[in-house]
Every structure is written in C-alpha cells, then in structure tokens.
Structure 1
C-alpha cells in the first residue's frame, strides 16, 4: 500500500487535484491579482484533465453505464452547491442564476457536447453509431424536465412574472426527483443494455469489449481524487469569475456571457471525457455523459433551489424568455431526428454545433 501511494505521488494526476484544493483554500473569497489569476487558470486546466483521467479509471472499474453516471452526478452535485452558495451571497441579482445555469448546461450538453461527439466519431469512423432506445429515453426525460421546470413558469398565473408559486415549485421539484430516479433505475438496472456502448463487428453492431479493469483499491483512490479535482474545478472557476466579469464588462459584452463561461469551465471534464469516448467509437458513452449531465443538472438543481428558497430572500425566476424557448424547442426537435436512426453523419453533428453557436451568439447579443 505504501509503495502504491508513493508511485501515485509521482504522477501529476495525483498531485494536481491536491494542489487545486490547496490553492482553492488559499484564494477563496479574495480578489486575485493578474499573476495569481494566471496561476489559478493553469491549475484549473490541470484539474480538469485530472478529473477526466480519474473518472475514466472509475468508469473502467464499475463498467457502463455506471461509469457515465459517476462524472455526471459528481459534477452536478458540486455545481448545485456552487449555485446555492452564489444565490445566498448574491441577493436579488441572483434571482435568475439557477435558470441561467440550468439552461446553459442543457444547451452546452445537448448541442455542444453531443454535436462535437457526433462530429468527431463520424469523421473518424464514417458514421457515429449508438443505441436509439437508450438515447431516446434520455432525451425524452431531458425535454420533459426542461419544459416542466423552465418553460411552464413563463405561462403560470399564480404569481406575477416567470415564477412558480410555492405549490408549483414543490411539484416541479418532486417531479424532477422522480423522473431522474426513474431514469437512473432504467439505465442501471431494468434496461441497462440500452445504454451500453456498441461497436462495429463484421458489418453489424455488437457490444464492445471492456479493457482490463483496474483494481478496487486503484478505483477507490481515483474516486477520492476525482472528488478533489471536481471541487477544485468548480471552486477555482468561482474564484476567477470576478476576473471574467471584469473582462466581459471591459469588452462591452452582455453579463449573461459570464454564466456561459463559468458553465463551460465546469462542464469541461465531461466534454473531454465525451470526446475521448467518441474518438474510440464509443458514441453511446459520449451521449450518456452529455444527456445524463443535462438531466442531472435539472433533476438535482431544481429541488435544491426549491429547498434553498425557503430561507433565501428575493424572487426565484425560472421561466425562460421567448428566444430561449425557441432554442430549446428547436434543440428537442433536432435531437429527436438525430436519435431516431441510431446513427449519425457529420451533418447531424454540424447542425447541433450551429444551434450551440446560435445560443452563444444570443448570449453575447441578446
């Protein structure tokens, strides 16, 4: 055991998560000078890469589709904690924080990560092959959660503005938890085969063989280091957010761009992991990561902010604007057409990436 720990200590994937947490403790709640912002950014990038490495180690140990859940749920839990913390500190100006963060996560995952994964896999292997049953179930759950939590508040009349009443918010929170729980049970127990990676074999499709799994001890160490790396990623992203805000203001960009940048930083581990899987022709794993992250973001964030609203002052605005509802509806329609055949070409990947680019453009120029 001691020899193993010494060996791990010589690897950057062991040292960087520890360095990220130490740097987070030293810089938390402080205004960072330019040089320190650069150092934090470098460590943040290293923590992202380390998180991806340790998530893959754990995924190899537990197998799919459990491996895809590890990174998605871990990132989302820390992201939710960050949202609640910012809402507690932000006062009235944070009333739209949960909505903006959840919608950004949906657009980044369902268009950015999905589009990149399909494009990379199809360019490298001719077509991107995946299981339409599992992917379609995930997409349907994401669409339902997004509509119940982000679209309906714009049209309800119990409270003025795009807000839920207390009863409506409770219903949305319980519905989110129930749907997310049902999906996880379906993915991991009842219909697990719908979410397993598939690969070409003799012109057909067959279940892909796994590499030799790491030992249980190695997986446990990687799980701890994954948690540390993700804490470092989210915490350091919050630490550099004032510098990001200053840069956005200096560039004359809309304030919503800050939320997009932070969401991109938080979702970097999942993005890199999904692209690595796509390069290895494991597109189902990429889609599990993308749609699972979107689902976890809604299914865990809405109940968390519903509880937080009991002691937080100020309104909780969840309803999307008309522009964002159009983007969400178009995303659901396009994603449905992408999923149905069970295979995709670079065209489908490009369409999703154009939708993601449209979201970024409208965040900069609303």
Structure 2
C-alpha cells in the first residue's frame, strides 16, 4: 500500500508539470474566460508543489548548499526571461518593470521568507540556529547588489530621472555578475561549510539522515521535471496576470500590486521549500534559499535587462523612490542584527514579517 501511494505521488509530480506546459502552450497570449482562469490557477498550484518535490530530490542528491542554489538559479533564469519578454512586448509602459520585480523579490525573500522560516523554526524547536558567517556574507552581497543597482540610479546625474547612463549600466551589470560569481564560488567551493545547516551545539550537518539519497538518474530526471514545473509556474502566472490586473483596477488599487502578486506566485516554490527546511530545523537551508534567490534576482536580472536595453526602445528605470529606499535600508539593518548572533527567537521572525506587511500595505496604499 505504501509503495502504491509513493508511486501515485511520483506520477502526480510528473504529470502536473507536463499538463502545465501543455496548458501554457494552449493559452499563451490569449484572453482567458473565468473557467479557464480557475483551471490555470489550479494547475499553477500543482506545478508549485511539483517543483518543490523535484527540488528536494535534487537537493537530497547533491547536498547543501548546491540544492538550494539549483532552485534559486532555475527560478531566477525563467523569471528573467519573463521580464525581458514582457519588456519587449510592453514598450515604454514597462520601463520600471525590472526594478519593481527585483525589489518585490528582495522584500519577499529577505522579509517574508526569512521571517516565516525563523518563526516556524523557533516556535517548533525553541530557537532557530544558523551559521552567521555564511548568512552574513550572503546578506552583505545582497545589500551591495541592491544598492548598486536600485539605489544609486536615483542619485546619478548623467541622465535625467532614476536611470543609469550606458557606461553606468554596463558597470552595474558587470559588477552584479562578478559579485554573484564570487559568492557562488565561496558558497560551493572555498567555504562550503559556512552554508551547511548546523546543530544546536554548532556542529555542521553534512547530510540528511532521514532517507537514502536518490540515484543520479533520479536526480537528473527531477532536474528536467523541475525545469518543466518552473516554466509552467512562471508562464501560467503571466497568463493569469490580466485577470489579476483587471481585479486590481476594479478594486481601485495601484498597478504596482500586480507585480507584487505575480512575484508572490513565482516565488512560491522557494517559499514552500524554505518552510519545509525550517520545520526540519534546517534553518541555514531556508536562509540559503531566501538570500540566494534575492541575490540571483538582482545578479542575473540587471545584466539581462542591460543587454536587452541595446535593442529595446524606451527608458530603463532602475532607481527606487524614497519610500522604497527607506524600506530597503531598514531591511538591511534589521537583517544584519538578526544574522550576527547566529540564532533567532520568534521575535526576530515577527520583526521581518512586520516589515514585509509594511511593504504590502504601502504597495496597496503608497
């Protein structure tokens, strides 16, 4: 009976991504009636759960921190492709799309995912423990990337408005790639131990002890299915965006809310994977997912849109407004204070969640 249940579960996590991609091909670029939107939303939710399943299979095979890196990079690459596609189709009205999407990803991951992970782990296990060396270096990289790419354009004078000149944009893109490459090298080669989960006594957990690792063949298969699932997640999220946009407009909310909703949908696989790790007292894995996703979002999106700007018409607005810069600065300060001790109580998780709630509130009522 147990074997049959596992077989059905495995079949379900394979079938749903395939259905998602087929449904995406049938609905791409078309206006969807209400019944189809409901079906797309259901398949989208199934694709999220399937992506989490296959990401965990890969993570169990390759170990940390490679597992969290695979999911973060896979989601970000597909997200970047979606941003560039929307910018190419949208013209001047999408000038700030990259900025809004990247900032939403930073706030969702650094406050929403981190806050939930710390809260779940500390409530379930008494206190959340993690490695401050690895988490601190990840936070420093995120803060630097965010400042160089999203804050400085507001204050430069080479071009009017919150934009970079060509030389400045080239520098920001190259700096983002260099910093991201340096971090990945540090995380996976030179100082891998800094990014592994630790016990309450500070000992590194080098492997999961709850099950045998899957075979290499199973991991490769899951990698392919993860790609299909993520394509379905991002593509179907774009498909339901007109419905979300019309609902936002009907409710009299700012258009920025649409970007927040889509970002929340796209980041669902990483959020669920992070919460599962937190429940198992693997808080470092949760933080690797959250900060790694934030870093990848900036480090890969900025170079991609910089390259795309060579043939895209219209301005490329990257600079944040004063309100969002305050939220970003407060997030960095609070995150630093959270990371330094290497352990957190429900209070720290609550503080991050309040910051995330403030971001959502100000997105609705700027």
Task: Please classify the TM superposition score into its range, dividing by the shorter chain length.
Answer: over 0.9
- In 1, are the aligned partners of 2:130 and 2:283 still within 8 Å (CA)? yes
5+ residue gaps, structure 2, are 1-6
Conserved in 2, the CA contact under 8 Å of 1:9 and 1:15?
no
The residue aligned with 1:4 is none
The list of structure 1 runs, each at least 4 consecutive aligned residues, that deviate by more than 4 angstroms after superposition, is: 7-10
Q: Which residue matches 1:226?
A: 226
Give the secondary-structure state (helix, strand or coil) at the position aligned to 1:160. coil
| Secondary structure, counterpart of 2:199 in structure 1 | strand
The structural deviation recorded for 1:183 is 0.1
Does residue 184 (structure 1) correspond to residue 184 (structure 2)? The answer is yes
User: In structure 1, what is the equivalent of residue 305 of structure 2?
Assistant: 305
Aligned match of 2:12: 12
Offset from partner CA, 1:140-198 (integer Å, 9 cap, x none)? 00000000000000000000000000000000000000000000000000000000011
Using structure 2 for the length normalisation, give the TM-score: 0.96
Aligned 8 A contact 1:8 1:14 in 2: no
Whether the aligned pair in 2 keeps the contact of 1:248 and 1:258 (CA below 8 Å) is yes
Q: Which residue pairs with 1:242 in the alignment? A: 242
Structure 2 match to 1:262: 262
Q: Which position in structure 2 is the counterpart of 1:150? A: 150
Q: Which shows bigger deviation, 211-220 or 86-95?
A: 211-220
**Equivalent of residue 202 in structure 2, options 199, 202, 205:** 205
Between 1:210-219 and 1:79-88, the stretch displaced more is: 210-219
CA contact (8 A) 2:193 2:204 kept: no
- Provide the TM-score with structure 1 as the length reference: 0.96
Structure 1 position 275 matched with structure 2 position 275 = yes
SS of aligned partner of 1:311: coil
What is the deviation of 1:8?
Answer: 7.7
Q: Which residue of the partner structure matches residue 42 of structure 1?
A: 42
Q: Secondary structure at the match of 1:206?
A: coil
Can you list the C-alpha shifts for 1:66-116, whole angstroms capped at 9, x where unaligned?
A: 001010000000000000000000011000000000000000000000000
Question: Could you tell me whether the CA contact under 8 Å between 1:114 and 1:349 is conserved in 2?
Answer: yes
Query: What SS does the aligned partner of 1:207 have?
Result: coil
1:203-241 per-residue CA deviation (whole Å, 9 max, x = no partner) reads x12222424210011101100000000000000000000
The CA distance in 2 between the partners of 1:108 and 1:181, in whole Å, is 23
CA RMSD of aligned residues (A): 0.9
Q: CA deviation at 1:10?
A: 6.5
Quote the Cα distance in structure 2 between the aligned partners of 1:104 and 1:38.
25
1:278-333 deviation line (CA, Å, top 9, x unaligned): 00000000000000000000000000000000000000000000000000000000
2:4 is matched with which residue? Answer: none
User: Partners in 2 of 1:34 and 1:248 — Cα distance?
Assistant: 16
Matched residue count: 357
Compared with structure 1, are the counterparts of its residues 74 and 255 closer, same or farther at alpha carbon in structure 2 (3 Å cutoff)? same
Partner of 2:323: 323
- Looking at structure 2, the residues matched to 195 and 39 of structure 1 have their Cα atoms a distance apart, in angstroms, of 39
